[in-house]
Amino acid sequence: MLDKNGPGPRDHPEGLGLSFLARDLVKTPSACQHPHRADVMKILLVEDSYLERHKVGAYLTEWGLDHVAVGSGTEAVKLLEAPEPPNLVLLDWMLPGLDGIDVCRRIRKFPSGGAYIYIVMLTAKNRKQDLLKAMEAGADDYLAKPVDPSELRARILVGKRILELQQSLCFAATHDFLTNLLNRAEILAALQREFSRSGREDKPATVILADIDHFKRVNDTLGHAAGDEVLKEVAKRLKSDLRLYDVVGRYGGEEFLIILPGCDVTVGARRANEIRNLVGKDPIQTPFGTTSVTVSMGVTVTSSTRDHSISDFLHEADVSMYAAKKNGRNRVEVFSAASQHAGFGQG
């Protein structure tokens, strides 16, 4: 999700100083990268011998593989615990301090939810019990030293294939197949995390429920295939204005949930309006005809001073979204206790 090379999301002034949020998000399954991304693999070479490190590093450079090299197990663990860690490790067994086996065991104890780290142990040991020990500690493969370039390249190819498979599975399990947004379970998990953090750090988070207006009409007039195209395009537009640590998911059929960490109700309502404008601004072209859609949005905000649960906040967003429908659609309504008492939740 963090792409240093590609264009970043727009920087909103209220987002300054909130980079810690991105750090937390990359430790979650929602961070599963799209498997078709080019930068699926980043290599960490851990080797205390300067000569070996330079030799293997030179092969990786020659093959155009993105990598970093360190000379100790301690440095390796530090890098692997940081955000966006390398996901393929070429790990020397004999190292000063933490050795390769220690590093393997540490990696396998990382909390689940982070991306899988594939480990190739580099070793001069070739007794069968040694190899078994490495595999038991968590290594995926091993390579005899001195390293032979063809063999190294073969092992890296296998690792890349496994990582791609793992990312495809992870992405499929956490994302909506049609829109590529987070699926319902994942956006609710993200809301739970955000809710907990909001309480812990005493920072608000805006929750927006967006529903496409008269979506049934699109299906009825242009057909369900056109409806799918509209859902995809709306998802794209919803996502286009978000910051790195905002999250959006498909909540139901034509309903989307957006979480804006750190945004109080004023900022949240303003951003909801900007997103609403963006969705409705241009017509949507589909192979079955052109159409225009708008969204109605309900906005609420989490706060540590309110004794509420996730389902209370979802209910508030829902009540406000129905208020937006009742008040003419293509608009944003912010939750207030008054709107609930007015019975807008019944629509």
- Give the distance between the most distant pair of CA atoms in the chain: 76
Residues numbered 278 to 337 that lie near Mg ion (CB under 5 A) are: none
Nearest distance from C-beta of residue 92 to Mg ion, angstroms: 4
The stretch near Mg ion (CB under 5 A) out of 34-42, 94-102, 139-147, 211-219 is 94-102
122: left (phi over 0), alpha (psi -120 to 50) or beta: beta
Closest CB to Mg ion among residues 49, 166: 49
If one asks whether residue 92 binds Mg ion (CB under 5 A), the answer comes out as: yes
Among 1, 18, 68, 94, binds Mg ion (CB under 5 A): 94
Count the residues of the shown chain that bind Mg ion, applying the rule CB under 5 A. Answer: 3
Who contacts 120 (Cβ-Cβ below 8 Å, separation ≥6)?
88, 89, 90, 91, 139, 140, 141, 142, 143, 155, 156, 159
Cα distances from 192 to residues 25, 106, 186, 195, 234, in angstroms, run 12, 28, 10, 5, 24
**Long-range contacts, stretch 193-196, CB < 8 angstroms, 24+ apart:** 193/24, 193/28, 194/247, 194/259, 194/261, 194/302, 195/302, 195/310, 195/313
Sheet holding 88-92, edge to edge: 67-70, 43-46, 88-92, 118-123, 141-144
In the bound state with Mg ion, the residue whose beta carbon lies nearer, of 41 and 107, is 107
The stretch near Mg ion (CB under 5 A) out of 34-42, 84-92, 113-121, 333-341 is 84-92
Minimum separation from the CB atom of position 123 to Mg ion (A):
9
Between 91 and 295, whose beta carbon lies closer to Mg ion? Answer: 91
Q: Which stretch binds Mg ion (CB under 5 A): 13-21, 67-75, 83-91, 92-100?
A: 92-100
Work out how close the CB of 257 gets to Mg ion at its nearest, in angstroms, rounded to a whole number.
50
Rounded to the nearest whole angstrom, what is the least distance from the CB of residue 148 to Mg ion in the complex? 17
Which of 48/228 has CB closer to Mg ion? Answer: 48
**What is the smallest separation between the CB atom of 108 and Mg ion, expressed in angstroms?**
21
x-marked contacts with Mg ion along 20-59 as a string, rule CB under 5 A? ----------------------------x-----------
Task: Please state, in angstroms and rounded to a whole number, the distance separating the CA atoms of residues 262 and 278.
Answer: 22
- Of 48 and 164, the one with the shorter C-beta distance to Mg ion is 48
Q: How far apart are CA 256 and CA 235, in angstroms?
A: 8
Q: How far is the CB of 49 from Mg ion (least distance, A)?
A: 5
Q: CA 303 to CA 205: how far, in whole Å? A: 7
Least distance to Mg ion, CB of residue 134, Å? 14
Q: How far apart are CA 212 and CA 216, in angstroms?
A: 9
116-155 burial, b at 16+ Cβ within 10 Å, e below that, comes to bbbbbbbbebeeeebbebbeebbbbbbbebebeeeebeeb
65 binds Mg ion (CB under 5 A): no
Nearest residue to Mg ion, using CB? Answer: 94
Establish if 147 lies at the interface with Mg ion (CB under 5 A).
Answer: no
Nearer to Mg ion, 3 or 48 (CB): 48
How far apart CA 89 and CA 143 sit, in angstroms, is: 12
Q: What is the DSSP letter of 138?
A: T
Identify whether the C-beta of residue 250 lies closer than 8 Å to the C-beta of residue 182.
yes
Residue number, 96 or 253, with CB nearest to Mg ion: 96
Nearer to Mg ion, 99 or 264 (CB): 99
CB of 52 to Mg ion, least distance (A): 7
CB of 90 to Mg ion, least distance (A): 12
Interface contacts to Mg ion, rule CB under 5 A: 48, 92, 94
